[in-house]
Amino acid sequence: MVQLTLTDTDAATLKKALETYLSDLRMEIADTNTHDFRADLKQEESLSRRLVEQLRTQASRD
C-alpha cells in the first residue's frame, strides 16, 4: 500500500485537480465510441471519484 502525506493545501489542490479532471473525463466518456476505451475511462472515473471522496472525508475529520 502506498501512503502519501499531504498538507491541507496539498490535499485541497489535489481534490480540485481531480474534480476538474472528472468533469473533463465525463465529457470524454460521452464522446467515446470505442467500447474498450470507454470502459478504461470509466475505471479512471471510478478511481478518481474514490480519491476525491477520501480527500473529502479526511478534510472533514481535520
**Environment class of residue 24 by beta-carbon count within 10 Å: exposed (0-12), middle (13-18) or buried (19+)?**
exposed
- Asked if 51 and 18 count as a contact pair (C-beta separation under 8 A), the reply is yes
Instruction: Tell me what pLDDT residue 47 has.
Output: 97
Instruction: Tell me what pLDDT residue 35 has.
Output: 96
Record the pTM: 0.84
Number of Cα atoms under 13 Å in the Cβ half of residue 27: 5
Q: Which DSSP symbol is given to 24? A: H
Nearest to 41 by CA among 32, 50, 49: 32
Domain edges within the chain: 22-61
Instruction: Give 10-45 pLDDT, tens digit per residue.
Output: 999 999 999 999 999 999 999 999 999 999 999 999
